Chain A
Amino acid sequence: MSLAARVEEKLYQNRYLVDAGKPHIAIRPHEKPSENLLAMTHICPAGCYSETSSGQVEITPDGCLECGTCRVLCEASGDITWNYPRGGFGVLFKFG
């Protein structure tokens, strides 16, 4: 089993209230991703970042754990914009 499949299984344990249609993280359109943006396809702990067949990086933040790693790595260069989900939405830790 690939690790990507495994992270989805992990996220399956969690409780989320997804703010449908209002993603809290967005990637700036690009031809070629920066090194940091590309690294996010490995290091996002929720596997939210992936590479398209044409080599761009895209994001599906539904499983986001709101850790802020991508913000720390990619916000300053303008690769992404990062916000917290609206109050009450997003991941809801039962144990934390």
Chain B
Amino acid sequence: MIEERFDAIVIGAGMAGNAAAHTMASRGLKVLQLERGEYPGSKNVQGAILYADMVEKIIPNFREEAPLERHLVEQRFWMMGDRSHTAIQYRNDDFNEDKPNRYTIVRSQFDRWFSKEVQAQGAIVICETTVMELVSDAYGKVIGVRTDRRGGTIFADVVVLCEGVNGLLGTRAGLRPSPKPEHVALAVKEMHFLPRETIEARFNLHGDEGVVVEAAGVISKGMTGMGFVYTNKESISVGMGCLVSDFAENKDTPYGLLEAFKNHPSIKPLLEGSEVKEYAAHLIPEGGYNTIPELFGDGWVVCGDAAQLNNAIHREGSNLALTSGRLAGEAIFQIKSRKDAMTKQNLALYKKLLDDSFVMKDLKKYKDMPALLHANSQNYFLAYPQLVSKAMENFLRVDGTPKLDKEKATIGAFIKERKWSGLFGDAWKLARAWR
């Protein structure tokens, strides 16, 4: 297929791959990027919130060019009861700034644009090409890849694996284990189209302002999971995700859960009359710090979701992918400029840069959260939300019951459900894991 030899081959044209390829190509390295989709983004799914800072570090003026939907001025966290929700809502007019911090995007459009920027830096990008395996020399050093196109093997000094959460190449080559069912969430998502005025009226928005709603509680039926509603210009992204291991045990269907979420009385009016134009599913790495595999070796590095670099607590993934891809590119450029070889020892620089960044620091902070939420999912995602809903109802319904009796009833319900020790234990564990 291609005779020449490359400084680097990047697998995948998602957030991590595009960041890595852009970083290396813009510094003059000879880069080949391979993507299995018909176009970059055609296989990718995101909510999707984009964090400006991490894009800006790669393309400083991206706001002028990139396909962005709405900048976010408001965040709602909804704890869902069966027919109710208790909300924390934060809106700030200061988010209407010159250079907003967060945007919604439509992922396949964004990836396509990003890839054009990568190509403009001189990288060769070939789509519709699935890489079948990594090629190693007799000493186990990765020296290239084999694709499903004719013409065989392509060689490079280093292969940058940005193949996403379900990456087959690294796992098949034994560089990292396959994700375990309790470490990945299955998310399903729909795109609902509505006129922009309708969206703006329903969500109390002006111009390109946007709102995101994150929802947890009874909607996941006791499984570790969440729902979301994000506003785009003329569409709304609605989705729901739970751990695969929970799904396997619970036997609910993901689409059934999504339907129930959409039909929840708090969500339904937001979507009324919309036209659905796509249904997607994707995994999200949720194992966190404790599941991060080996990140580099002789002739290879791994970035983004493939390396489990995903912060499930803050629902950040694209920015960790962008940052890890960029840092991998910077490390490779530095090694190359010193005319050093792409050995495991030298590529350790990538890990060092990553350790010094927010990526590893944030993931380390929450290292105990995934296991805790998983082990206590029945409490955190079913019992407590129901209790909170009941407590709010008690508090607000004026029916002649003295307030003291109401408080007693509320506290009684909490204790009956979990006992004091259980309540304190859960709160304590949550606080510790959060620290």
* A interface residue numbers (CB < 8 A to B): 3, 6-7, 10-11, 13-14, 17, 36, 39, 42-43, 45-47, 65-69, 71-73, 75-76, 82-88, 90-96
Contact = CB atoms under 8 A, between A and B. Distances in A.
Nearest to A11: B279
A16 to B, nearest CB: 11
B99 interface: no
Contact of B43 (A72, A86, A91): A91
Interface of B: 36-38, 41-46, 48, 106-109, 111, 127-130, 147-149, 165-166, 168, 178-181, 184, 186, 188, 190-191, 235, 244, 247-248, 251-256, 259, 276-283
Given A88-B129, A93-B107, A96-B45, 16 more contacts: A10-B190, A43-B252, A45-B186, A45-B253, A45-B255, A45-B281, A66-B166, A69-B281, A71-B178, A72-B181, A76-B178, A82-B168, A83-B168, A87-B149, A92-B37, A95-B108
A3 B45 CA distance: 23
B165 A86 contact: no
Nearest to A45: B281
28 contacts: A13-B279, A42-B247, A43-B251, A43-B254, A66-B43, A67-B281, A67-B282, A68-B165, A68-B166, A82-B168, A84-B168, A85-B130, A86-B148, A87-B36, A87-B129, A87-B147, A88-B129, A92-B37, A93-B41, A93-B42, A93-B43, A93-B108, A93-B278, A95-B278, A96-B45, A96-B106, A96-B111, A96-B278
Contacts of A93: 41-45, 107-108, 278, 280
A82 to B, nearest CB: 8
A42 B166 contact: no
Contacts of B42: 92-93, 96
Contacts of B276: 10, 13
B168 A65 contact: no
Contacts of A43: 186, 244, 247-248, 251-254
A65 B45 CA distance: 10
Most buried by A among B106, B248, B276, B283: B248
Given A88-B128, A94-B108, A75 B36 contact: no
B235 A42 contact: no
Contacts of A90: 43
Given A13-B279, A42-B252, A92-B37, A87 B128 contact: yes
A53 B372 CA distance: 40
A17 B38 contact: yes
A21 B168 CA distance: 22
Given A93-B280, A95-B278, A72 B108 contact: no
Contact of A10 (B44, B127, B279, B282): B279
Contacts of B107: 93, 95-96
Given A3-B259, A84-B168, A92 B247 contact: no
Contact of B283 (A11, A68, A84, A86): A68
Nearest to B247: A43
B191 A95 contact: yes
